[in-house]
Amino acid sequence: MTDPVRKELNLREVLTSATIKLQLTASTRDEVLRELVELVPELADRPEQREILFRAFLAREQFDRTGLLRGIALPGLGRGGVGLVTRPVAVFGRHTEGIPYDPRDEELVRLFLLVLAPTPGQTVELEEQFVAPLLVDEGLQQDLLAAESPEEVLGLFREAQAVLLPSAEMTVSLAEVSSLSALLSPATINLQLTGNRREEVFRELVRLIPELADRPDKRERLVQILLEHHEKTSIGVGFGVANLGRMRAVGLVEQPRVVFGRSVAGLPFGAVDDQPVHLFFLRVAPTYEAHRVLTNETAALLERLQAHDSPLRRRLLAAESADEVIALIREAEAAGAKP
């Protein structure tokens, strides 16, 4: 059932070209806060209210750090901002060079986002729609840094919102997501990976996703996301297992997908224990919520596979068919937390 708050909240009226500034000129945190406050439309002719809002932001900074990692600051007030405006609003600002925002953090901040709403429900909704994708989607962060106009920024956020709020045609069952074995099928399992390099293996795995069969553009995008992530950190989690699944890939599929691959010879993937990887798990989700649930379920399975002498790992390495793999994972899920 649709949240009544979502029905009433027109996101296209919350973030507009008028509430976006891509050339912040301030050189200090306090000056940036003033620039952002000046972008709140309903306070344009109310200097006293702007000052109250600005002081509220300063007070918040005294006890709660809003400058985050990766050059992002969220100078919002949370539910403490309820009542300061009569209409929900999101303000986005970008500083070309970046400014020092928090004395405890040497990283310069370039992206700024604040959200305000008159009700607690709308505040939560704005946080889900604007703050969540900005925090978790590194691709969105890079795109916002490169955006050349407010209209482009609007398009990027709307694309992210479309992922967060799936269309009526998208039937995602979180009950199904919570069972990896239910998401696997013989068509999404390859027990004879032939690639000798990580890119070759990634392509083999991505080709197993059914709805991307005739979408070479999306297949290539997913491969590039996996490659970029592997450049930053190893996907080999140890004991011959690789875990592939990135938040940036959310929205490339319409249903949650899990792919399993096995390399008999094993591949060097720079794993944390320097062991070759034999077992590969790739997961892709249509929404952030589905990704979160899928990630948690995968983590539970990986914990079993990373046990020092894991019977499940040995049996998956020896499995002779895709059906046997599914049965083994289903049995592990039924066993719960038992080692």
Q: Residue 15: pLDDT above 90? A: yes
pLDDT at 122: 80
- Annotate 53-64 with three-state secondary structure: HHHHHHHHHHHC
The pTM score is 0.57
Rounded Cα gap, residues 23 and 95, in angstroms = 6
Residues 96 and 158 placed together within one structural domain of the fold: yes
Cα–Cα separations (whole angstroms), residue 35 to 44, 60, 203: 12, 17, 46
Phi, psi values for residue 242, rounded to 5°: -120, 135
206 belongs to a structural domain: yes
Rounded Cα gap, residues 49 and 329, in angstroms = 58
Instruction: Please state which of the ranges 112-121, 132-141, 293-302 shows the lowest mean pLDDT.
Output: 132-141
Give the number of other Cβ atoms within 10 Å of residue 223's Cβ.
Answer: 16
Domain stop point among 138, 164, 190: 164
Residues 135 and 268 placed together within one structural domain of the fold: no
Rounded Cα gap, residues 128 and 75, in angstroms = 16
3-state DSSP assignment of residue 277:
strand
Residues 137 and 119 placed together within one structural domain of the fold: yes
Residue 219, token pair as written in the block: 């297949």
Residues 119 and 250 placed together within one structural domain of the fold: no
Instruction: Please state which of the ranges 61-70, 80-89, 176-185, 193-202 shows the lowest mean pLDDT.
Output: 61-70
Q: Residue 67: pLDDT above 60? A: no
Question: Where is pLDDT greater, at 193 or 227?
Answer: 193
Over residues 118-140, mean pLDDT: 76
Residues 147 and 182 placed together within one structural domain of the fold: no
Residue holding tokens 């099928």?
185
DSSP string, 88-144: -EEEEEEEEEEEE--TT--SEEEEEEEEE-SSHHHHHHHIIIIIHHHHH-HHHHHHH
Residues 25 and 101 placed together within one structural domain of the fold: yes
- Domain of residue 117: give its range: 4-164
- The burial of 156, by beta-carbon neighbours within 10 Å (0-12 exposed, 13-18 middle, 19 or more buried), is given as buried
Q: Residue 174: pLDDT above 90? A: no
Over residues 197-207, mean pLDDT: 94
DSSP symbol at 128: I
Rounded Cα gap, residues 192 and 245, in angstroms = 21
CATH of the domain at 243: 3.40.930.10
Calculate the dihedral angle through the C-alpha atoms of 213, 214, 219, 220, rounding to the nearest 10 degrees: 140
Residues 185 and 103 placed together within one structural domain of the fold: no
> Residue 19: pLDDT band by 50, 70, 90 thresholds?
very high
Rounded Cα gap, residues 26 and 37, in angstroms = 13
Q: How far is CA 311 from the centre of its chain?
A: 33
CA triple 320-323-329, angle to 5 deg: 100
